[in-house]
């Protein structure tokens, strides 16, 4: 294939990362082993929250092989970790890397031991004496209270022909990356290098600099290969700080890696919100007002993005639907458990489930088919981009088009007829619809593009990767922009010495914001090349072609330009760009779940999921599909099986023996179709895709199950919808 073939964006190119990652040549934090590396181990609070009445580490300090023991008192000089306020008047509760007077939860570290070997560190932990006076009560738990108000809500409810209500409560769930967290820090020539399994290397550097009280230039953060994250590695964590601090104190490399149990105990959790809402409908079955109460739990401290789920849920609650009047009240409260932070979807699944349950309940109350009910309320494509009653700006999209396509692809009408037949024959089966919107990233991201002396291009992005295939996607974007082949593009990410400013990868933002930054950097490089070429050739006229430039009847590709202009080994040309999103890109989609319940056991079988997605212009359909399917698996887990269980301040789901994650055999047949509408929010027209499956799929599954349960009264059930809950819902009326 010639270099001059345009159209790299949109191609289903296999992931260039795969040969490395799939053959065991990935390099993760724990694979990095500097000579003389010390090991950090943590004494985690085995009791519940309370007052740390006594802590004696003297025997541990004297133990064989121990280099350092840290307690909360030793960290008094450190600065506070950053918490994004996100909501007006929200209070920030930063991390306490080690408990000081108060212990916030089971699992919070009380002391850290750094020793020659993991075994020596572990042995020293056993020598620490402590006393905790348990006290679960948190003095002032509410850290945020916010509302979204628009229109005449009271009046609409007073005049409503019908009012429907739902409750939707979410379990707390574990983000469950394949690779548990890890941190390694080392001093070299007076500078601190920190390897983190993180989504946000650049932001972690800024946070670390302010906590340690040193200049950002004295810290280098490297995120090597990262084995999944899902929000669980989006924010700097206490263990990261301890490793960095210890490496500085000891002037030696220090490493910590989480066990799976560490992650269940002290990594961030997701979801957990308790939500309720009421919908006012007029005589024609149109929504006239929405009232909602959203209660979001936080743990005993707040990571950087702790308030993002709550804020997202409130601001996007009306979703793709027209409703003029809203009264949405939100609270976020501290609880004596591990921190809650963003997790794939981050508030969007909560909003979507609540809204989609309301619409199904309204459809049932009015005797209207759920698909028709939705069709009547969707915001028209012609009015997009447009404002929502919560003050957001929706991107371009075609929600009715998604729904129509879903009806067509799924054979919706035939499925409804089949359901009636199956029900009559004694089956318990349901169909569940859900539409969703997925706002994809606010803020900024950086990119740099360099022309190297050999004609290759080097693309540096602040949007680091955790297995999404970012190298492949960014190479395609650069190839398209510069008229070269993706193979000629090297992609660099995850190193703050090479990328000075950036955020990272989260909130489905990397392609929309990071990709747009790269696109603009490429345009700037082209402009530079054109000028430099004109100067080098003494030509008045240098024209752009689809694969470089033309002047004086000759063509100049990137290799020729590099040869002409190169003066040394460094980059021949380079251009940087910071893209700041003026508006968010909003992906959207429509899902249909077909579910049957075993009447004797309650076991649900997901017979099929059909899904029409709008991710805007898709850079690589293979990658997009991978994201959709991965999100679907996690959405299915949250809907049907995953839950963190806390009792008396203890975590009862501390291992994969107790916590159910979906396996390959739990995955249903899936049919995915796409109906893209390019985004109006960025020059590439791209929208995000990383969270979609976790947003729409759970709502469709819950609606399908609730639909199946209509003959049994369909009471509101909290997530996850385990077979036990379903069996109880089916048997209540029979016994």
Nearer to ligand SMO, 460 or 507 (CB): 507
> Is 506 a residue that touches ligand SMO (CB under 6 A)?
yes
Nearer to ligand SMO, 433 or 507 (CB): 507
Residues ≥6 apart with Cβ < 8 Å to 646: 172, 337, 652
> Is 177 a residue that touches ligand SMO (CB under 6 A)?
no
Residue 149 CB, nearest approach to ligand SMO (Å): 27
- What character string, x for contact with ligand SMO (CB under 6 A) and - otherwise, covers 297-336? ----------------------------------------
Taking CB under 6 A as the criterion, the residue among 144, 204, 507, 547 binding ligand SMO is 507
Taking CB under 6 A as the criterion, the residue among 9, 241, 342, 475 binding ligand SMO is 342
Nearer to ligand SMO, 303 or 370 (CB): 303
Nearer to ligand SMO, 45 or 312 (CB): 312
Burial of 380 (0-12, 13-18, 19+ CB in 10 A): exposed
Nearer to ligand SMO, 122 or 442 (CB): 442
Nearer to ligand SMO, 450 or 627 (CB): 627
Taking CB under 6 A as the criterion, the residue among 201, 224, 231, 469 binding ligand SMO is 231
Q: 68: closest CA among 106, 32, 98?
A: 98
Residue 236 CB, nearest approach to ligand SMO (Å): 14
Alpha-carbon distance 676 to 614, whole Å? 4
Residue 285 CB, nearest approach to ligand SMO (Å): 35
Nearer to ligand SMO, 438 or 613 (CB): 438
Residue 507 CB, nearest approach to ligand SMO (Å): 4
414 beta partners: none
Q: Token match 């794939």: residue?
A: 344
The edge-to-edge listing of strands for the beta sheet with 162-169 is: 142-150, 325-334, 287-298, 274-281, 162-169
Is-contact 373 284, C-beta < 8 A? no
User: Among the candidate windows 4-12, 19-27, 338-346, 696-704, which touches ligand SMO by CB under 6 A?
Assistant: 338-346
> Is 631 a residue that touches ligand SMO (CB under 6 A)?
no
Residue 272 CB, nearest approach to ligand SMO (Å): 14
Nearer to ligand SMO, 269 or 472 (CB): 269
4 beta partners: none
Nearer to ligand SMO, 271 or 675 (CB): 271
Nearer to ligand SMO, 327 or 438 (CB): 438
User: Among the candidate windows 19-27, 227-235, 418-426, 672-680, which touches ligand SMO by CB under 6 A?
Assistant: 227-235
> Is 289 a residue that touches ligand SMO (CB under 6 A)?
no
Query: Residue 209 to residues 82, 191, 216, 220, 250: CA-CA distances in angstroms?
Result: 11, 12, 5, 10, 18
User: Among the candidate windows 97-105, 236-244, 337-345, 514-522, which touches ligand SMO by CB under 6 A?
Assistant: 337-345
> Is 343 a residue that touches ligand SMO (CB under 6 A)?
yes
> Is 223 a residue that touches ligand SMO (CB under 6 A)?
no
Is-contact 452 568, C-beta < 8 A? no
Pair of tokens at residue 349? 């699944």
Is-contact 597 705, C-beta < 8 A? yes
User: Among the candidate windows 166-174, 226-234, 370-378, 568-576, which touches ligand SMO by CB under 6 A?
Assistant: 226-234
Residue 81 CB, nearest approach to ligand SMO (Å): 18
Helix/strand/coil (H/E/C) assignment for every residue in 600-624: CCCCEEEEEEEEEEECECCCCHHHH
3-state secondary structure of 639: helix
Query: Residue 386 to residues 204, 375, 482, 685: CA-CA distances in angstroms?
Result: 35, 18, 34, 17
Taking CB under 6 A as the criterion, the residue among 41, 177, 234, 279 binding ligand SMO is 234
Return the residue nearest ligand SMO (CB atom): 231
Q: What are φ and ψ of residue 453, in 5° steps?
A: -55, -25
Alpha-carbon distance 280 to 358, whole Å? 10
Size of the site for ligand SMO (CB under 6 A): 10
Residues 484-514, buried b or exposed e (16+ Cβ, 10 A)?
bbbebbebbbbbbeebebbbbbbbbbbbbbb
> Is 344 a residue that touches ligand SMO (CB under 6 A)?
yes
Q: What are φ and ψ of residue 285, in 5° steps?
A: 75, 20
> Is 201 a residue that touches ligand SMO (CB under 6 A)?
no
> Is 346 a residue that touches ligand SMO (CB under 6 A)?
yes
Is-contact 373 723, C-beta < 8 A? no
Alpha-carbon distance 542 to 534, whole Å? 6
What does the binding site for ligand SMO look like in residue numbers (CB under 6 A)?
199, 230-231, 234, 342-344, 346, 506-507
């Amino acid at each position: 294939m010639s270099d001059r073939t345009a159209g790299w964006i949109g191609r289903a190119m296999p992931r260039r990362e795969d040969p490395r990652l799939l053959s065991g040549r990935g390099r993760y934090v724990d694979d990095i082993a500097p000579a003389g590396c010390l090991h950090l181990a943590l004494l985690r609070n085995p009791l519940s929250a309370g007052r740390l009445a006594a802590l004696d580490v003297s025997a541990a300090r004297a133990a064989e092989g121990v280099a350092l023991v840290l307690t909360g008192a030793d960290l008094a000089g450190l600065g506070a970790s950053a918490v994004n306020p996100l909501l007006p008047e929200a209070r920030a509760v930063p991390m306490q890397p080690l408990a000081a007077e108060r212990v916030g939860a089971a699992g919070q570290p009380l002391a850290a031991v750094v020793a020659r070997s993991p075994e020596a560190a572990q042995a020293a932990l056993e020598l620490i004496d402590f006393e905790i006076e348990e006290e679960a009560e948190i003095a002032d738990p509410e850290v945020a209270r916010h509302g979204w108000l628009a229109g005449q809500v009271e009046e609409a409810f007073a005049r409503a022909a019908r009012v429907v209500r739902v409750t939707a409560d979410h379990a707390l769930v574990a983000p469950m990356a394949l690779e548990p967290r890890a941190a390694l820090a080392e001093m070299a020539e007076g500078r601190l290098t920190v390897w983190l399994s993180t989504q946000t290397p650049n932001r972690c550097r800024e946070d670390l600099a302010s906590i340690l009280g040193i200049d950002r230039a004295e810290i280098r953060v490297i995120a090597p290969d990262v084995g999944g994250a899902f929000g669980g590695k989006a924010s700097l964590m206490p263990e990261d700080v301890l490793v960095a601090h210890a490496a500085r104190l000891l002037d030696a490399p220090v490493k910590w890696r989480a066990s799976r149990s560490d992650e269940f105990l002290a990594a961030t959790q997701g979801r957990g919100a308790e939500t309720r809402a009421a919908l006012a409908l007029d005589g024609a079955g149109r929504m006239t007002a929405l009232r909602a109460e959203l209660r979001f739990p936080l743990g005993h401290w707040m990571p950087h993005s702790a308030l993002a789920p709550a804020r997202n849920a409130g601001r996007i609650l009306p979703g793709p639907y027209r409703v003029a009047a809203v009264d949405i009240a939100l609270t976020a409260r501290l609880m004596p458990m591990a921190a809650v932070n963003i997790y794939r979807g981050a508030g969007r699944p909560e909003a979507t489930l609540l809204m989609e349950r309301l619409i199904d309940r309204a459809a049932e109350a009015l005797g209207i088919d759920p698909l028709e009910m939705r069709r009547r309320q969707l915001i028209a494509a012609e009015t997009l981009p447009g404002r929502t009653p919560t003050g957001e700006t929706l991107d371009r999209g075609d929600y009715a088009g998604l729904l129509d396509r879903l009806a067509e692809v799924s054979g919706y009408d035939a499925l409804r007829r089949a359901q009636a037949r199956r029900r009559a024959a004694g089956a318990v089966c349901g169909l569940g619809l859900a539409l969703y919107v997925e706002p994809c990233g606010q803020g900024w991201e950086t990119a740099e593009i360099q022309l190297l002396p050999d004609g290759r291009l080097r693309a540096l992005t602040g949007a680091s990767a955790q297995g999404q295939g970012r190298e492949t996607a960014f190479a395609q974007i650069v190839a398209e922009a510069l008229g070269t082949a993706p193979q000629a593009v090297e992609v660099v990410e995850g190193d703050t010495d090479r990328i000075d400013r950036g955020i990272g990868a989260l909130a489905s933002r990397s392609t929309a914001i990071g990709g747009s930054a790269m696109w603009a950097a490429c345009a700037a490089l082209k402009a530079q090349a054109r000028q430099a070429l004109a100067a080098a050739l003494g030509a008045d006229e240098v024209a752009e072609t689809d694969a470089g430039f033309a002047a004086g009847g000759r063509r100049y590709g990137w290799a020729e330009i590099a040869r002409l202009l190169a003066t040394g080994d460094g980059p021949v040309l380079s251009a940087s760009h910071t893209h700041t999103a003026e508006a968010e890109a909003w992906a959207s989609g429509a899902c249909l779940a077909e579910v049957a319940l075993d009447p004797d056991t309650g076991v649900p079988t997901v017979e099929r999921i059909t899904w029409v997605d709008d991710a805007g212009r898709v850079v690589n359909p293979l990658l997009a599909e991978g994201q959709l399917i991965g999100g679907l698996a996690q959405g299915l887990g949250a809907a049907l099986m995953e839950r963190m269980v806390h009792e008396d301040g203890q975590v009862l789901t501390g291992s994969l023996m107790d916590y159910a994650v979906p396996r390959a055999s739990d995955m249903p047949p899936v049919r995915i179709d796409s109906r893209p509408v390019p985004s109006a929010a960025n020059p590439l027209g791209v929208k995000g895709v990383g969270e979609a499956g976790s947003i729409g799929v759970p709502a469709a599954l819950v609606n399908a199950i609730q639909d199946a349960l209509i003959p049994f009264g369909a009471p509101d059930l909290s997530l996850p919808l385990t077979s036990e809950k379903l069996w109880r819902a089916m048997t209540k009326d029979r016994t």
